[in-house]
Amino acid sequence: MDLELFMSKGSVLIFVEYYLPGFKAGGPIRSIQNLIRVSADQFCYSVITRDRDIKDTVPYKGISLNTWLERSNYKVFYFQPEINSLIKVYNSIRNYDVIYLNSFFSPFFGILPCIVSLIFRKKIVIAPRGEFSAGALAIKSNKKLLFIKLFKAFQTQKRIRWQATSSGEKADIRRIMGKEAMVSIAPNLSGEGIDQKKFNSIKKNKPPLPDKLLLVFVGRVSEIKNLDFALNLLKQVAFPVEFSIYGPLEDQDYFLKCENIIKKLPPNVRVKFKGEVTFHETKALFQKHHFLFFPTKGENYSHVIAESLQNGCPVILSDQHSWKELEASNAGWSIPLESPEKFLFLLNQVSRLSSLEYDRLSQNALLYWDNIYKRDLASSKESYQNLFSENVKK
């Protein structure tokens, strides 16, 4: 990478626990990938990440570790959490204008680089990526609340800018960190726009709905994604349904809890764990199902929702996300988790849709996504330019 270009454009060092070629961590990987794609002409990006994907016991194959690797529009460093590589990683902080952290609670990718950045008096941007939502904080809450209290006690707020991806996440950050927290909204960007040719292709591939309702869940099998809630609801339906579950088994105890629920489901409900799915496989996956069924406890964006919509798969969600006007656009539903009876009523209603009615919903999902994509494409580049440029200034 040209040194003069590196210095003139402003340099941003990104800490993200999992990155390409990994895929199991889902949204944050795509968020960083798209950030670099839309704004590499404005900033010189370097990425520091783990040498392996979630739960993997061996590093990525064919990738050099503990050294900087050149990519087309950024640099990347895959490191093993051992003392020599940690020293090398954290020493590199002194060479950058902005340190961009994609977790608040991660020891190696949030807490430690934040401390080192403060020591080096660097500008810091933290993207908590949903970690401050009520649902996320409820998991291992004692440890998280203790760390928040310690963090606030050191009065570091003036040195840190927070990134929210929506107005809801901005409110979450200020609720936890105080009204004085400097929070900028910079939305995520995902996928691509759509056209009539794409809709016709999706319509042709969709299985007829009257045969059985095909639901899909895509996400980490963990408490925050609330899969057990979805399974308990399916105990109470009388129509034929097939529920396919894709994603890494992040929490083995939680997986066993879900398996026990599956054993008690009625014969009209078939559930299958399909395992992990890579980014390039999700397009065909969503085009083969009728609805994304995703009653999550908390999402700050959720690329899974975006991918479902852009492939003509309407969504049945909890209300713990940032997607607005889904119902007004007839692209899906957001239902409070406190109202399981509303989920059941809706599932029964959509199981009775005609093919024509479903096709309209599918097209509405595509049109809704296309409007969101065009809006965010226009604003994202400017948002990130403002977020990092304010921090680049000395």
Residues 6+ apart with CB under 8 A from 127: 31, 100, 101, 102, 162, 163, 165
pLDDT at 7: 46
Beta strands at 74-79 and 68-70: parallel, antiparallel or unpaired: antiparallel
String of DSSP letters for 301-354: S-HHHHHHHHTT--EEEES-SS--STTTTTSEEEE-TT-HHHHHHHHHHHTT--
For CATH 3.40.50.2000, list the domain ranges present in the chain: 3-189+377-392, 196-373
Q: Quickly name the fold that domain 3-189+377-392 has.
A: Rossmann fold (3.40.50)
Strands of the sheet containing 123-126, edge to edge, are 68-70, 74-79, 44-50, 11-15, 98-101, 123-126, 160-164, 182-185
Strands of the chain (E only): list them. 11-15, 44-50, 68-70, 74-79, 98-101, 123-126, 160-164, 182-185, 213-218, 241-246, 269-275, 291-294, 315-318, 332-335
pTM of the predicted model as reported, rounded to 2 decimal places? 0.70
pLDDT at 207: 66
Cα–Cα distance, 28 to 321 (Å, whole number)? 15
Cα–Cα distance, 277 to 389 (Å, whole number)? 36
Residue 221 and residue 248 in contact, taking contact as beta carbons nearer than 8 Å: yes
Beta strands at 269-275 and 241-246: parallel, antiparallel or unpaired: parallel
Cα angle, residue 90 at apex, residues 172 and 99 outer, rounded to 5°: 40
DSSP annotation of 50 reads E
pLDDT at 94: 93
Which residues of the chain fall below pLDDT 70?
A: 1-8, 189-199, 202-210, 376-378, 390-394
pLDDT at 166: 83
String of DSSP letters for 51-92: SS-TT-SSPPTT---SSEEE-SSEEEEEE-SSHHHHHHHHHG
pLDDT at 394: 42
Work out the mean pLDDT of the chain and round it to a whole number. Answer: 88
pLDDT at 204: 65
CATH of domain 196-373: 3.40.50.2000
pLDDT at 393: 46
Q: Which amino acid is at 354?
A: S
pLDDT at 351: 94
Residue 385 and residue 186 in contact, taking contact as beta carbons nearer than 8 Å: no
pLDDT at 160: 92
